[in-house]
Amino acid sequence: MLVAENITFAYAAGAPVLQGVSFTLTRGDILYLLGRNGCGKTTLMQCLSGALKPASGSVTFDGKDLFAYTPQERAQRIGLIPQLHSPVFAYTVHELVLMGRAPHMGLFGTPSKADHAVAESALDSVGLAHYRNRPYTQLSGGERQLVLIARGLAQQCRVLLMDEPDAHLDLHNQQKVMAIVQKLTREGLSFIITSHIPNNALFYARQVLLMKAGRVLTTGDPAQTLTEPLLSEAYEMDTEVLYDTRGTVRVARAVLPKRWQA
């Protein structure tokens, strides 16, 4: 569905932020991007959304170059959910979700009954239909994330890019948001998620792309990528992976930093 091949990007000449990044995202996939601050995760997400154009390499969607699509066509296929979203006005939850219909309307178009129905269906999918008339600004962090997912669903795209959805959420809301993400993958939606919490990747990722200094350190399923040597290299610190061994099956259960000695 979405293929990145040897993406390179730089904000300034001679200082590449991304260097030769490649991966493939399939239907119903959950890909986690992990790595230290400044390793290029957010820049990569902007290249995948079409907000930034790679200096070299390519991004293709269904076999067609991403930048051969018009901005409106790209928005019908790929949605971006930012880490923080603070609207200027106290839009209602329904109004904010309805904004996801913009790529399907003309320049001066207004929402139709069908658009309102799609927004209601999206809210129902994330379990927030009863909040439709509540001001978005009065919601908790977890509820806001679910509303933004609903906006992406109303956009009727096929890939949702989520920038650190777990950054400002407590444990309960992290798991609530990811349970909704898992449910939506069973309906064919795909996700690319940046995170600073390797344990969430351990629990929910189907693929992990581990980055260091703008390059792909490794990519694959969590069992292959979330190992002590690779995590220690990516984060430049000693890490420890705890395993649960049952019979001949050894399953990773937690990623921990090794305590630093002063």
Q: pLDDT (tens digit, 9 = 90+) per residue, 41-62?
A: 999 999 999 999 999 999 999 9
- Residue 259 domain-assigned? no
Longest dimension (CA), the chain: 63
**For the domain that residue 47 is a member of, what is the CATH number?**
3.40.50.300
233: helix, strand or coil: helix
- Residue 162 domain-assigned? yes
- Residue 237 domain-assigned? no
Taking only Cα atoms into account, the Rg of the chain, rounded to an integer number of angstroms, comes to 19
- Residue 232 domain-assigned? no
Write the single-letter amino acid at 125: S
- Counting as low any pLDDT under 50, the low residues of the chain are none
- Residue 190 domain-assigned? yes
Tokens 């989520």, located at residue = 162
Read off the pTM: 0.88
Closest among 84, 101, 72 to 166, alpha carbons compared? 84
114: helix, strand or coil: helix
- Residue 254 domain-assigned? no
- pLDDT at res. 81: 84
Report pLDDT digits (tens) over 73-87.
898 899 988 876 666
- pLDDT at res. 84: 63
Which residues constitute the domain of residue 57? 2-224
Q: How many domains is the chain built from?
A: 1
Please give the DSSP secondary-structure letter assigned to residue 105: S
Q: How far apart are CA 148 and CA 187, in angstroms?
A: 18
- Residue 238 domain-assigned? no
- pLDDT at res. 3: 96
- Residue 258 domain-assigned? no
